[in-house]
Structures are given as C-alpha cells and as structure tokens.
A and B are shown apart, each in its own frame.
Chain A
C-alpha cells in the first residue's frame, strides 16, 4: 500500500504511536513545575507593570508626542504575525494534502490561538484606559457613542474576533477524536472533562465524514480570514497618509512577513517539543527540512518586498519619505535596519540555503534570528515614521520604551511559553488519529 521508508513513524504500530504521544500527558514532574513557574513569575511582573500603567496613566510609557505608537503596537503586529504560523500553514498544508503536515499541524494551530490571545490584548493595553475597551463594540447607549466603522481600528476588532473564533474551532475540531480517547484514561475528573469536551464522540463513520468535511471547509475559510487579518493590520498603517506607511504593497508585505515569522516560531516550538517530549521518532529531519525550505522561500519573498518598498521610496524622492528612508537606512535606525536584513535574509540564506549546513540546529538558529529580525522590522515600520515629524519646528523625536513597556513585552513571550506548556500537558501535541500511513513522494526521506 505504501512505499514508506523502514523507519518512517507512520509505520509504527498504532498502539505504540498512541502510547508515545499520550505519554507526555501523564505525571507532573518537578522539572515541569519549575519550567512553568519561571514564565509565570515573569507574567506576574508584566501584570504588575500593566497595573502601574493603569494606576498612573500612559505617562509611564515612553510614548510622547508625536510618537503615540510604540512598543505596544510593535508587539501587536508581531504577535498577530506569529499567529499566522499555525492556522495558515496548517490550512495550506491540509488543502494541498501534504502528508508531512501531520505531526506539525496541531502544534502550529496552538501557536495561532495563543499568539492571537496575546496579540489581541495589545490594543486594549495601548488604550490606556483599558476598561473602556468595550466602546469599540457598537451597542445602543444613552451617550449615543457609536464607533466609527470606517476606522481601521474597528476593522481590526472584527478581523481579530473572526480569526480567534475560527482558529479556536479549527484547533478544537481535530482535537475531538483525541479527547475521546483521552476520556478512557486518567483520573475520574480528567476523564469526565475529556468526555465532556469530546461531545460523545464514538468514532462512527458519520462523525468522521462530518469532521473531515468540516476540516476541509474550515481550512478554506481560515485561509481567507488569515490573509485578511494581516492585511487589515497592514491597513492600520497604510490607510494613514504618512511617509513610508501609505503604501499599496503593505497588505501582501505584512502577510509575507507574518508567514515568515510564524514559520520561524513553529520551527523553534517543534524543535523544543521534539527535545523535551522525546518525540524524535515523530518529528524527523524530514519535517524540519521541509519547514526550512518554506522558511527559505519566505525569506526570499520578504527580501523582495522589503527591497521593492524601499526602492520606490528612494526613487520617488518625496522629502517626507526620504527623511524616514534616510533615518532607517543611513541614520539613527541604520543599525537595527541592517541587522534586520542580515538576520532575515543573509543568515537564513546561508544556513538553510546551503544543503550541507541545513540541520535542525541551524534551522533553530536561523529561526531565532528571524524572530529578532521580524520584531525589528515591526519596530522600524512603526517608530521612524512617527519620530520624523513633518512640522519643521518639531524636528525629529527620540522614542525609547520605558521599563513598563519592556516588562509587558517580555511577559507576553513568557505567556506564550506558559500557555504552550499547559497545553502540551493537557492534549497530545501531535494529532494521534491523523497519524496513518501515507504515500511518500519519490525521493522523500523520513
């Protein structure tokens, strides 16, 4: 039936696959608690920093006229970008029926949900008076406050709400069969919760048919939503007539950047899962090799868009654009700019492009670099435009984030680790039921 290599994980007995993938869920070790405690403490400190901001006001941040968008918006764009790791990649691979997606999809979809939860908080944190966030939602009220539906910020709200809802359902649907299996093991309480969440799944063909159809449909829908979400995030900038923001290619540029950073995050998470959970048999070099190729492709695309964006600004010679362009490329933002180009293009090109150098370790190194580079990219989009004011008397303004902004930013990374650790303890990080033999293409290796 198949021409799988002898050591392909799909050839293992189903019982063994199930045992290997369910094993990490049982038992709570000291090591696990310590791993959980560290990010938790960082999150607590981030929470404290936010409480300082709420009690004192936005003055505790580095934001000041005219730089009203700073690290929080950078974080927002960055995390929404990371969220593209999962749903988008999983949807593309599912729709194209790429067999190698199987051990990757759930880990990727979980990244999406958590990154969206984290990223979605930033507009609220950035509001200052966070408790009024619900004013964005249209509801009849005595003060006749209605949101401006033409504002890209309201578009953000709708887009992100749709994306979160879709992603949670997209993560949950393929979890149902595994939850049903988990409902047969563990403590009474655990069994009860899993059985409740599995909605009485029995594994009948009616259920499988419905699940497969729903997953295919959801993959198509979520793909359209994911592309639109990051396009809308890009429009937060490009709808403003501001230098280096008012660009027609910002939508696709952001989408490419989002997939790029998402893939890098996925590579790191996969390598961590592989090592920490002992899943070397399931997350093989073959999977990392394919991911590395995708990252390389996105790196080239990202470089192409960055070049197109900057070349047109330089060629146009519009004084306002040139001021921002100059600050980015030769001026005070030159170091982060060239560092970004180096880690986003040069490093992946060498480490992942040269076959001899391509390995799991080099992939992880390149991915860390890409995450740094993509964070810098967001920073370089947000800050230089705002700090190069167009009023002659105002000159240029320096923005440096305060400890409050930095603490909240660091806490979000800790939150990602924390949520992921909890998730990996509650459900198998690889979809057990999806692990059935598939035809390998000619020349594929396990």
Chain B
C-alpha cells in the first residue's frame, strides 16, 4: 500500500498561505508537491511558490513560425500562377506585409492559447488520483502531497493558521 497522503488545509489570508508554503519547503516539499486552490488568483510574495513560464517565448516562436509559413505560402502561390503585375515583381514583401503581419499575430494567438492549455495542466493533471478540494467562499486551500508520517505537515498547517486540515487518501 502506498504511503502517500494528501493533506488539504483551509486558510483565510495570503500571509498564512505564504507561511505554510515556506514551512513545507523547509520540511522538504517541492513546488511540484504543493498546490493552492482558490476562487480568484492568489498573489503570494515574490519567491514563494513561483511557477516558471515559457509562454512569452512560445508565443514569439509561434508567431514567427506561422508568419513565415504564411509568407512562404503567398510566395509559392504567386509563383505558381504568375499574376499580371504590369512589370512589378511577382512577389512583393510590401504588398504581402499585411498578410505576414496578421498571420504572425495569428500564430501568437494560437500558440498562447495552446500553451495556456499545456501550462495550466488542464488536460494533463500531475496526478489524477489527487483529491480536488471544494473551496469555501473567500478561502484558499493548500494541498500537499506527503510521503511518510502526515502528522508533521499537519502540525505545520495548524501552526501557519489553517482553519481546518484534512487528510485524504489518493482517489
């Protein structure tokens, strides 16, 4: 039988949440073990439970990729069937500029959306057996995955100011 326990603590303010996250880190938990649940975004002090993101980079890469592909497509289309241009070049970057710009932006939009899906882990939950707490209004729930005796983190939760602490087995 697995010795993994899930602990869920309910808090009323961000100061207590920051305190429990720091305590859990000191006790050996990593960011991957800890999750907060709330009905609105929680702003913790800098350095507490930071989640690095590559969304901006992905958006730029997506933008460049789609913009380049679309421009290449326009180039290929115009060379495939040469339009009568009255002596002007068959393909013109000036004339295609708007299409390049818009498709570049389209690339940024798509990649941001898909990366949001990826980074938020909506479709790839870390652990499908992890219990999801029902967050009471105006509360913040902290969930931690604990290996070993859960009494220690439970004490940490109480010390940080948790209103209630629940132990849950993997679902």
A interface residues with partner B (beta carbon < 8 Å): 13-15, 18, 138, 140, 144, 146, 148-150, 152, 154-155, 158-159, 161-162, 165-166, 169, 173, 177, 181, 199-214, 217-218, 221-222, 224-225, 228, 232, 235, 433-434, 436
Contact = CB atoms under 8 A, between A and B. Distances in A.
A146 B80 contact: yes
A445 to B, nearest CB: 24
A177 B39 CA distance: 8
A434 B40 CA distance: 7
A109 to B, nearest CB: 14
A149 B112 contact: no
A238 to B, nearest CB: 13
Contact of B36 (A18, A205, A235): A205
A232 B98 CA distance: 8
A185 to B, nearest CB: 14
A313 B137 CA distance: 62
B122 A214 contact: no
A150 B95 contact: yes
A217 B122 CA distance: 19
11 contacts: A13-B137, A154-B99, A162-B109, A200-B122, A202-B37, A202-B132, A205-B35, A205-B49, A206-B119, A221-B112, A224-B105
B42 A208 contact: yes
- The 3 A-B residue pairs whose C-beta atoms are closest, nearest first, are A210-B120, A150-B95, A214-B116
B55 A213 contact: yes
Contact of A210 (B53, B123, B137, B138): B53
Contact of A204 (B35, B78, B83): B35
Given A138-B77, A214-B112, A158 B39 contact: no
B98 A155 contact: yes
A137 to B, nearest CB: 11
Contacts of A146: 77-78, 80-81, 83
A149 B102 contact: no
Interface in B143-161: none
B117 A199 contact: yes
A162 B106 contact: yes
Contacts of B109: 162, 165-166, 169, 218, 221-222, 225
The winner among B49, B56, B98 for most chain A CB atoms within 10 A is: B98
Interface string B123-145: 10100000010010110000000
A209 B51 contact: yes
B47 interface: no
A158 B97 CA distance: 11
Specify the main secondary structure of chain A where it touches its partner.
Answer: helix
Contact of B77 (A149, A221, A433): A149
Nearest to B122: A199
Interface residues of B, number: 49
Nearest to B112: A217
A237 B92 CA distance: 21
B78 A210 contact: no
Interface in B79-118: 80-81, 83, 92, 95-96, 98-99, 101-103, 105-106, 108-110, 112-113, 115-117
Contacts of A155: 98-99, 102
B16 to A, nearest CB: 14
A218 B55 CA distance: 11
Contact of B96 (A140, A149, A159, A207): A149
Contacts of A214: 55, 112-113, 115-116
B74 interface: yes
Contacts of B37: 202-205
A215 to B, nearest CB: 9
A154 B73 CA distance: 14
A161 B74 CA distance: 17
Contacts of A138: 73-74, 77
A426 B132 CA distance: 26
A205 B121 contact: no
Given A201-B122, A210-B55, A210-B119, A165 B106 contact: yes
Nearest to A434: B40
A355 B81 CA distance: 62
Contacts of B68: none
Given A158-B102, A162-B105, A207 B77 contact: no
Given A14-B137, A203-B39, A162 B103 contact: yes
A119 B37 CA distance: 41
A222 B113 CA distance: 13
A61 to B, nearest CB: 29
The winner among A199, A201, A202, A225 for most chain B CB atoms within 10 A is: A202
A30 to B, nearest CB: 33
A409 B80 CA distance: 40
A196 to B, nearest CB: 12
A413 B127 CA distance: 49
B152 to A, nearest CB: 23
Contacts of A154: 99
A123 to B, nearest CB: 15
Contacts of A210: 53, 55, 116, 119-120
Contacts of A144: 80-81
Contacts of B95: 149-150
B113 A200 contact: no
A149 B79 CA distance: 12
A300 B74 CA distance: 41
B110 to A, nearest CB: 8
A181 to B, nearest CB: 8
Contacts of A149: 74, 77-78, 95-96, 99
Contact of A148 (B83, B112, B116, B117): B83
Nearest to B17: A205
